Structure 1
Amino acid sequence: MVVLILYSQYPRSELEYNRIGHFVLGYDLYSFEYSRIEANLNNIAVVKCFEANTGEDLQTRHAKALEEVKRELASKTRENAHHGLSIVDSIHRLGIEHHFEEEIDTILSRKHQMLKGQNKHRNDYQDLAEVALQFRLLRQEGYYIHEDVFDKFWDKKGNLKQTFCDDVYGLIGLFEASQLSIEGEDYLHGAEGSIRQYLNSWLSRFHDHHHVNVVADSLRWWKDLGVQNDLKFSRDEPIKWYMWPMACLPDPRFSELRLELTKPLSLVYIIDDMFDSGASVDDLTLFTKAVKRWDVTATEQLPDYMKGPFKALYDVTNEFAFKAHIKHGLNPISTLIKSWVRLLNAFLVEAKWFALGHVPKAEEYLENAVVSTGAHMILVHAFFFMGEGITEETVTLMDGFPNIIFTTSKIVRLCDDLEGDQDVNRDGNDGSYLKCYMKEHPGVSVEQTREHVNDLISDAWKRLNKECLREANPLPPSFTKLCLNAARMVPLMYSYDSNSPSKLEEYVKSLL
């Protein structure tokens, strides 16, 4: 049963550590801290959603308290526009924005309308942190705001004025804002490197003691599936696979989706291993055709080692479509099958290249490799299970390859290839944009190639930020944030440094 735990915060003027809540698991009470949260909530209660066994009366009281908080929120934000933005930021950092979606949208749309009618050279805020916060919140929620709001902070050479180089909060805010730059915003993009240097000089270690325990169901499902028994050469990393949806979908509303997405995600890795294992092109073609037919009797024509993976794919996808249909009234099975066929066709192209010893042109490789990431297939599954913004237009988009998914997939692919190029243990069957590019351009060094790939990633991020702006994006905000989070997760998931433990390994251990 869902419980809303409320704790008031006293007025604070600085960032500080504050205990603001508790969560209940079984019969034990654990306290937790949110560290370094922007402390402008004043007397507004902070609401957190937890699971516990409790009575209806407590749930009713919490619902009433939530409404009271919303009224107080509206009152406080009318009194002070920037104060409202600080509250919105704190709500986001607490992970409770799902309780205040309408209020947040009202605050930001009001701010956006105010800025649109304001002279671009007039800015009420003289504080770097305030301007950066305004820019970031509006951009990340899909509202366009021009980078010239930062003009007063640059010197004549386009560098950050020395006055602001010791403003840690301002630097952090500006760095976060720079991640939302779009094509043509040279000042904001160019400042990122220098800001990073300033912040590194102030860097100190912070330890996040946020532990996650919800992996037992995914482990149980994986063990019961038994596919690893058919494919001895395949990866067996169910906790790692759960990390993707766990980090990309932090909203408590999507707890069920996190587990459900782990299932097709696991199959992407398993089937990818099957295609990379040296299986014959003929067998792989049979497997791809069987999936396209979507008939369980097609397993009769498959080699024994492929029957288990096909049956798992067939059952998992049908079950996923059934659950989405029950929840939202639309059966997405046709689109889900198309996404799998598109992925397997990309795997098959790579298998044929490897069998022939063919190294494609860099662009030809990338066009196919964007699909073979599997990101498109997973994001399509997520869209239908989320159930928000499902229209004839958006379903048609999902049948194809919408720009926001393409760009996300491109970031995933290029980052994977960039990191994987340093992995001495990487399978020779795996293609690489860097290898294709260097073969196509014999005089180019490894360093120049890596710089080129980093430029491609930076350009892709700018396109993704632009595609997330509401004016050009027909997809719902929840799905847009999922795409952004999927791209943000790449540096964590694809870390191949064999000389030191990866951050991913540390996070995985925290789940055990």
Structure 2
Amino acid sequence: MAKFCAQEKECFRVKYEQILEKLRSLINQDGFDSLSFIDVVQQLALEHHFSEEIRIMLREHHRHFFQRTHITPDNLYTVCLSFRLLRQAGFPITQDVFKCFMNKNGNEFDEDLREDMEGLLALYEASHLDFEGEQILDKAATFSARILSTNSVGIFEDQHDQPVKYTLQNPRHKTMARLVAKNFLEKNVPKNEWTILLQDLARMDQAVVGSLFHDEVLQVVKWWDGLELTKELESARDQPKKWHMWSMSVLQDPTMSWHRILLTKPVSLVYIVDDIFDIYGTMDQLELFTNAIKRWEIFDSEGLPNYMKTCFEAIQETTQEIIDIVYQNHGFDPSNILKRSWGELFDAFLTEAKWFGNGHLAKADEYLSNGIVSSGVPMVLTHLFFILGDNVWSEEAHRVLSNGDHNNILYLVGMILRLFDDLGSAQDEQCYGNDGSYVECYMKDFEVSSHAVAKKHVMKKVSETWKKLNKRALSSSSSSNPFSESFRNACLNVARMVPVIYDKGRKNDLLALAQCFESTLNEDE
């Protein structure tokens, strides 16, 4: 990768700062269209540059929203955009704002809305931020999707077809920001001065992110190669670059470089431990391995193969590294919570190994409960909580991290990953050993013979889980949110990343995401 010289880097930096300064001056002008600005900023994954300005603009908008004449039957787009931006930022707003768009009976959306394409697209986007029990938003999703999918060719002009199809397949709330940004840059023509500046900034930002990814991956690969695990485990996955894409996607702020590098370490170790349990270890070895992890004693690893000892040491060293950083920065020692999360993960892997070794097909609910833990998500997010360093002293947060409640935010994200993974569409899963499947358990429990029917059930369950996740990630109630906004956003990003990694039908998205991260400062900015 060619490098800019010092002078070129300085020119790049100056232009970068000039664009930011110009945009901030425009924001402060009277009559500025703040909602449209926020919408485009988020579409271009630039929110980290304007987080405080966005918070101020949304606070002001929320204060006046119900006092103005925004909520009228002829203003569907603005109401939908306001609802989406306010709810995703944690401001209290209910589904009742959509009642004026229902028919006279109040039980369905008014069919007269069918020709308002911009409004219908906004309604579809807003419906994906629904909570459990919000029937109006359920109807909004069904109504908007039906009309958009039916009439994308016909009522709407040809140039609108692709945006409609893209939105139906990639609702903003459930799609990785970098993918949304890539599509926006490719499809949208700037309409005014600030959109031109934002697109210029987004291209420069993409180059910065690409350089960060390159530099961070070098450090991750150096750490990974130093473990020398793949020398003995030739069939195990060896993809540190791809694993770091998780961290880049979950923690998008460019300033969080060391956080991402540190997070990739437990992510990588989950994959290698999974392969050890699936491919390499005998049952006796796996039981010894699990006991050693739960006791956190290196002496308990005697009698284990060398690769298990090396893996155990890597887990201990990585965990201790995180413990030391948290204690140094915040004066809190998370040892017990982090060690417990590893023990729970190993217990879950061992349970699966015993099931498959004995030819036992668990009940669907039993399998899923264990599979959420074996997904690695609760363990990784527990580590992420302390890596971020927000609210590390919160007893309520510690309780949620430790209680194994399947309705907490960690387990909901884990359920989404487990369900997608178990659809059998993992792109790079090497099918060695015995891989269990929730789909298989469900089909047996309920005597379902059609994989299509089972898949429909799984996707419905994913949708229901998203509603619960939205409630815990977006709710403005402090009692339901012991976690910081940055942690909750990271949890949402994990859920958004899941289809990109595990849905074979979205292979192009994975390639597109890789292209986003591999952009460099060689572009003609």
Tell me the TM-score normalised to structure 2 length: 0.77
Of 479, 483, 504, 2:487 maps to 479
Q: Residue in 1 aligned with 2:436?
A: 431
Q: Residue in 2 aligned with 1:127?
A: 75
Further displaced range: 181-190 or 195-204: 195-204
Say what the alpha-carbon RMSD is for the aligned residues: 3.5
Q: Which amino acid aligns with 1:481?
A: N
Q: Residue in 1 aligned with 2:99?
A: 151
Q: Residue in 2 aligned with 1:224?
A: 226
Deviations 1:110-165 (A, max 9, x none): 433444x659x972684332212101111111223222323344456725635454
Q: Does the 8 Å contact 1:383/1:479 carry over to 2?
A: yes
Deviations 1:293-341 (A, max 9, x none): 2223333232223111111111111112222333333232221111111
Q: Which amino acid aligns with 2:71?
A: N
Correspondences of 1:85-484 after superposition (within 5 Å): 85-115=35-65, 118=67, 123=71, 126-155=74-103, 158-159=108-109, 161-165=111-115, 167=117, 169-185=118-134, 186-191=138-143, 193-194=145-146, 197=149, 201=153, 202-203=161-162, 206=183, 210=206, 212-213=210-211, 214=213, 215-277=217-279, 279-393=281-395, 394-401=397-404, 403-420=408-425, 426-427=431-432, 429-468=434-473, 469-471=475-477, 472-484=480-492
Q: Does the 8 Å contact 2:41/2:47 carry over to 1?
A: yes
Q: Partners in 2 of 1:199 and 1:427 — Cα distance?
A: 45
Q: Partners in 2 of 1:29 and 1:248 — Cα distance?
A: 33
Q: Partners in 1 of 2:430 and 2:152 — Cα distance?
A: 31
Q: Does the 8 Å contact 2:72/2:100 carry over to 1?
A: no
Q: Partners in 2 of 1:361 and 1:184 — Cα distance?
A: 27
Q: Partners in 1 of 2:78 and 2:304 — Cα distance?
A: 61
Deviations 1:352-407 (A, max 9, x none): 10111000110010110011111111111111111123233223332334611111
Q: Which amino acid aligns with 1:182?
A: F
Q: Partners in 1 of 2:387 and 2:488 — Cα distance?
A: 14
- Structure 2: runs of 5 or more not aligned: 154-160, 167-182, 187-202, 519-525
Q: Residue in 2 aligned with 1:10?
A: none
Q: Partners in 1 of 2:279 and 2:78 — Cα distance?
A: 53
Q: Which amino acid aligns with 2:5?
A: Y
Tell me: CA distance 1:424–1:53, structure 2 relative to 1, closer, same or farther (3 Å): closer
Number of paired residues? 456
Q: Does the 8 Å contact 2:35/2:82 carry over to 1?
A: yes
Q: Residue in 1 aligned with 2:522?
A: none
SS at match of 2:255: helix
How far off is 1:413 after superposition?
A: 1.0
Further displaced range: 404-413 or 294-303: 294-303
Deviations 1:251-282 (A, max 9, x none): 12322211111111000000000001152222
Q: Which amino acid aligns with 1:106?
A: I
Q: Partners in 1 of 2:383 and 2:419 — Cα distance?
A: 23
How far off is 1:435 after superposition?
A: 0.2
Correspondences of 1:45-84 after superposition (within 5 Å): 73=27, 76=30, 83-84=33-34
- Structure 1: runs of 5 or more not aligned: 1-23, 31-51
Q: Partners in 2 of 1:315 and 1:364 — Cα distance?
A: 33
Q: Does the 8 Å contact 1:321/1:332 carry over to 2?
A: yes
Tell me the TM-score normalised to structure 1 length: 0.79
Q: Partners in 2 of 1:138 and 1:324 — Cα distance?
A: 33
Q: Partners in 1 of 2:313 and 2:429 — Cα distance?
A: 34
Deviations 1:33-68 (A, max 9, x none): xxxxxxxxxxxxxxxxxxx669x9x89x969x86x9
Tell me: CA distance 1:318–1:423, structure 2 relative to 1, closer, same or farther (3 Å): closer
How far off is 1:193 after superposition?
A: 3.0
Q: Partners in 2 of 1:162 and 1:489 — Cα distance?
A: 36
Q: Partners in 1 of 2:303 and 2:351 — Cα distance?
A: 21
Q: Partners in 2 of 1:380 and 1:171 — Cα distance?
A: 39
How far off is 1:503 after superposition?
A: 2.9
Tell me: CA distance 1:266–1:353, structure 2 relative to 1, closer, same or farther (3 Å): same
Q: Does the 8 Å contact 1:373/1:409 carry over to 2?
A: yes
Q: Partners in 2 of 1:425 and 1:197 — Cα distance?
A: 36
Q: Partners in 2 of 1:478 and 1:467 — Cα distance?
A: 13
Q: Partners in 1 of 2:444 and 2:257 — Cα distance?
A: 45
Q: Partners in 1 of 2:331 and 2:48 — Cα distance?
A: 23
Q: Which amino acid aligns with 2:82?
A: Q
Tell me: CA distance 1:196–1:369, structure 2 relative to 1, closer, same or farther (3 Å): farther
Q: Partners in 1 of 2:100 and 2:7 — Cα distance?
A: 50
Q: Does the 8 Å contact 1:276/1:430 carry over to 2?
A: yes
Q: Does the 8 Å contact 1:227/1:312 carry over to 2?
A: no
Q: Which has the higher helix share?
A: 2
Tell me: CA distance 1:405–1:88, structure 2 relative to 1, closer, same or farther (3 Å): same
Q: Does the 8 Å contact 1:241/1:265 carry over to 2?
A: yes
Q: Partners in 2 of 1:164 and 1:155 — Cα distance?
A: 13
Tell me: CA distance 1:86–1:422, structure 2 relative to 1, closer, same or farther (3 Å): closer
Q: Residue in 1 aligned with 2:179?
A: none
Q: Residue in 2 aligned with 1:493?
A: 501
Deviations 1:8-49 (A, max 9, x none): xxxxxxxxxxxxxxxx9642799xxxxxxxxxxxxxxxxxxx
Q: Does the 8 Å contact 2:70/2:79 carry over to 1?
A: no
Tell me: CA distance 1:192–1:412, structure 2 relative to 1, closer, same or farther (3 Å): farther
Q: Which amino acid aligns with 1:335?
A: I
In the alignment, is residue 508 of structure 1 matched against residue 508 of structure 2? no
Q: Residue in 2 aligned with 1:43?
A: none
Further displaced range: 336-345 or 446-455: 446-455
How far off is 1:109 after superposition?
A: 3.2
Q: Partners in 2 of 1:380 and 1:482 — Cα distance?
A: 12
